[in-house]
Amino acid sequence: MSSYRNQQPPMSAHRAQQPPTSASYGRQAPMSIRNGGNRNFMELPVSEEGTREWSHGLCSCCDVPGTCLAALCCPCIVYGKVKARHNNLETQGEVLAEPGCCSGDCCLHAVLAPCGLGFIFQMINRGSVRRRYNIKGGGCGDCCTALWCAPCELTQESREIELEEQSLLGYPKPQARR
């Protein structure tokens, strides 16, 4: 597979190119290819805006009862693991071998959840996951989902991240949702 980075422009293009100035960096579009695996592993349809739906519905959280039960009983642990896996994909572009269950994010969530503030961290992380995978939605939806459907929301995020991890590990494409 050839990469566009390895292709050389014709010599005339080399002579015409000027070195970029610091002012031109601010106007450049962000790169669409970053570290990680396939971010639409189930090949869901993409809208004209370049966004898509979640790979698994919010109410399909019971399809993975272990994660759903953990998110219901100990949301801080699931939040910490989801956040660690997501951060590792963002920064390293690879699967996190074993996310620990008691990270700093987990402890912060555990301390603030009894005060009713744990959903704020989940809302922020949900937005970050949505942006990584170009999933439709916005801050208001993230807030409502994290506040009122926390176990389902955490399970949905975990499953979305898991699909990218599976693509990195060479798993076959899963069956499309119905």
* Residue 30 falls inside a structural domain: no
Contact 125, 113 (CB under 8 A): no
* Residue 6 falls inside a structural domain: no
Q: What percent of the chain has pLDDT over 90?
A: 63
Task: Look at 34 and 152; give whichever has higher pLDDT.
Answer: 152
The tokens for 86 are 């997501």
* Residue 24 falls inside a structural domain: no
* Residue 26 falls inside a structural domain: no
**Statement: the pTM of the whole predicted model exceeds 0.85:** no
Residue 116 structural domain: 64-168
Q: What value does the mean pLDDT take over residues 87-115?
A: 90
Total of domains in the chain: 1
Best CA proximity match to 105, nearest among 74, 130, 82, 128:
82
| d(C-alpha 149, C-alpha 119), whole Å | 10
* Residue 118 falls inside a structural domain: yes
Point out which residues pair with 116 in neighbouring strands.
Answer: none
The backbone torsions φ and ψ at residue 38, rounded to the nearest 5 degrees and listed phi first, read -70, 120
pLDDT in tens, 68-82: 999 999 999 999 999
